[in-house]
Structure 1
Amino acid sequence: MTAQLSDQILAVFRVVLKNPAMSAEDDFFESGGDSTAAVDAAAMINQQTGVAVPIAQMFIYPTAEELAEALSSLSA
């Protein structure tokens, strides 16, 4: 589940940041994201996966891989 969620989050990050080369280990904010983009990404992740993303989690876990792991443990 975590790998699939990571892939879905990464796809959203790539769209929101218009950065198709972004990897699952790349930091959302270091790759050009800001708080507005984080809100957009969180909403899009929720819409596409049904997983609610607290915005604070994006700042604590700024990579797709870390965020997927955190969200998986929150919903467990």
Structure 2
Amino acid sequence: GILAFAVCPGFTMTGMADDYLESRGGDKLLADIPLGRVATPEEIGTIAAFLALDAPPSMTGAVLDANGASYVR
């Protein structure tokens, strides 16, 4: 009766990520993300809340990437 999910965020706009992005050229790194921006902490929280409260049991074992489509090429 235990369900397991993995949330795999890419860059998320926290203070640490903001400092890292700025030190690496900011806009140049964002240009490699098709969405053109990084996730917000609220977006990652929404994913976690969905998995905890609303995800159907058949999703168990799912890995959810939240990376602005940076893996899509």
TM-score, reference length from structure 1: 0.26
Greater strand share, structure number: 2
Greater helix share, structure number: 1
Which one has a bigger Cα radius of gyration? Answer: 2
